[in-house]
């Protein structure tokens, strides 16, 4: 058992998955920053602000995921090369069309939610309530955001 009473072997697996999630969030964050900077067209004003809201939320979640990894006695990945190697989404460059950018954001969240559900199941199995709660909160928030972005694109 580790210092917070969780089995070490299973916790190491959760830490590994959390690091994949952290890398995916980091690439999603940078993609969203790029969308914010490069957006053009008639939706500029509303999407420029929305993309800023999204990346500000992502940066908080990135920090919370890294802190959870540390709580579980792991080491959070933090280099650009680690992020690219472990991310489940790809980086996007020079996207200036708002609808395309929003579709990338939706696709990124879909990938993130799938990862979070996997982590939630693993954490639930060992009664890691801290990780379960964190993943559950993120999933709830992101599912609602996805509904709103889909509605905007419809």
pLDDT (tens digit, 9 = 90+) per residue, 98-152? 999 999 999 999 999 999 999 999 999 999 999 999 999 999 999 999 999 999 9
CA 137 to chain centre: 12
CATH class, domain 8-153, is mainly alpha
pTM for the model stands at 0.97
Helix axes 129-153, 44-71, angle to 10 degrees: 170
Q: Where are the domains of the chain?
A: 8-153
CA 121 to chain centre: 17
Structure tokens at 131: 């990780």
């Amino acid at each position: 058992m580790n210092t917070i009473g969780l089995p070490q072997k299973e916790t190491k697996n959760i830490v590994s998955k959390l690091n994949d999630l952290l890398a995916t969030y980091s690439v999603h964050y940078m993609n969203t920053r790029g969308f914010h900077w490069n957006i053009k067209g008639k939706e500029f004003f509303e999407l420029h602000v929305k993309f800023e809201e999204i990346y500000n939320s992502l940066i908080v979640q990135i920090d919370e995921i890294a802190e959870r990894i540390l709580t579980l006695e792991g080491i959070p990945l933090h280099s650009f090369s680690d992020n690219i190697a472990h991310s489940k989404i790809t980086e996007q460059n020079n996207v200036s069309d708002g609808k395309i950018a929003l579709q990338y954001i939706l696709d990124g969240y879909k990938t993130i939610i799938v990862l979070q559900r996997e982590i939630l199941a693993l954490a639930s199995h060992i009664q890691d309530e801290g990780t379960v709660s964190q993943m559950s909160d993120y999933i709830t928030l992101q599912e609602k955001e996805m509904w709103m972005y889909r509605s905007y694109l419809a």
